[in-house]
Amino acid sequence: MAWRLTIRTGGKVQRARYAELGAALDAAEARAREEAGSASSRVVDAKIKRFDPIQQVVARIELAGPERLLPSVRAGIDVRGDGSTEAYLGRVRRQVVEQHKRESSYDALRRTLAERPKAKA
């Protein structure tokens, strides 16, 4: 059983598998930092509505867990157009992971996944 990492940037999708959660989180953080560093900060005017860079998701890095006895774990990191990042849980109904004081979105995601209930063997 493996952790699946899916990286969506623009129209491109890349996938990878990791045996351990720690390795998957390290890869997700490295890729999110890379995307955040190259995020474009331009305003999109769609005639009806204007989208500022912070409202745009330029990359989505998603983790899917290997659990069989619990509902599948879905979590990830959104990289915004201004280079900021936001951790979330869920897939269809995303819930933003609340960051504690002096905690990055990557640390918040690690903490949240470490606190989740474990599957029983």
| Secondary structure in 3-state letters for the chain | CCEEEEEEECCEEEEEEECCHHHHHHHHHHHHHHHHHCCCCCCEECCCCEECHHHCEEEEEEEECCCCCCCCCEEEEEEECCCCEEEEECCCCCEECCCCCCCCHHHHHHHHHHHCCCCCC
| Closest to 61 measured CA to CA, from 115, 18, 117 | 18
In a domain, 121, yes or no: no
Task: Report pLDDT for 1.
Answer: 66
Number of domains the chain contains: 1
**pLDDT mean over 63-81:** 78
User: 53 lies in which domain range?
Assistant: 3-115
In a domain, 120, yes or no: no
> Does residue 94 or residue 26 have the better pLDDT?
26
In a domain, 8, yes or no: yes
